[in-house]
Amino acid sequence: MFPKEGRSKEWSPVSWHSIAYSEANDPIGHIGFDRFEVLINAVPCSVIGIGEVVVRPEYQGQSIPALLFNEVHHQASKHLGAEIFTLFCPPRLVSYYGKHGYQRHSGAVYFLQQGEKVLSTFEFMHHGDLAAVGEVVLQSEPW
């Protein structure tokens, strides 16, 4: 499920899931999400962390992620009250998430790994009004 770059990392679990099903009622796509508190330039901010974006290979190219992202944005805004959505991705996937309305954050991003604060080697992407620059510090593992 994780790209090869993320397999050795510790990840925060998520509580909410959006799942797409085929006409035969088989799961074909998934996005996990949850509310997280982060510090942006030392100011607390509530965000929705997106993770575990996956679509079965035989259903790729059919706009399944677009449907899932739209559903997550709608449901998380409605039920969790947050308007900023964030995700971590390897640099090679920046353009992919850009197609879904996510922008690359240009500031430094830190998260926990084995209890220590480390500088992220992943791109931090956001959808919604997030400061374009500045330091982002998670009090948890990435999602």
Listing DSSP states for 76-108 in one string gives HHHHH----EEEEE-GGGHHHHHTTT-EE--S-
CA angle 138, 81, 143 (to 5 degrees): 30
pLDDT at 4: 67
For residue 16, being part of any structural domain is answered with yes
Average pLDDT over the chain, rounded to an integer? 91
DSSP assignment letter at 139: S
Flag whether pLDDT at 55 surpasses 70. yes
- How far is 84 from 62, CA to CA, in rounded Å? 26
- Please say whether the beta carbons of 14 and 142 come within 8 A: no
Q: Which residue has the higher pLDDT, 26 or 129?
A: 26
pLDDT at 132: 59
Flag whether pLDDT at 90 surpasses 80. yes
Flag whether pLDDT at 137 surpasses 70. yes
Residue 128 lies in domain? 4-138
For residue 48, being part of any structural domain is answered with yes
Least confident of 21-25, 52-56, 88-92, 130-134: 130-134
Which CATH number belongs to the domain containing residue 124 in this structure?
3.40.630.30
Mean pLDDT of 71-87: 90
For residue 94, being part of any structural domain is answered with yes
For residue 143, being part of any structural domain is answered with no
How many domains does the chain fold into?
1
Flag whether pLDDT at 95 surpasses 90. yes
For the stretch 21-42, pLDDT in tens is 999 999 999 999 999 999 999 9
pLDDT at 122: 96
Flag whether pLDDT at 141 surpasses 60. yes
Mean pLDDT of 10-16: 92
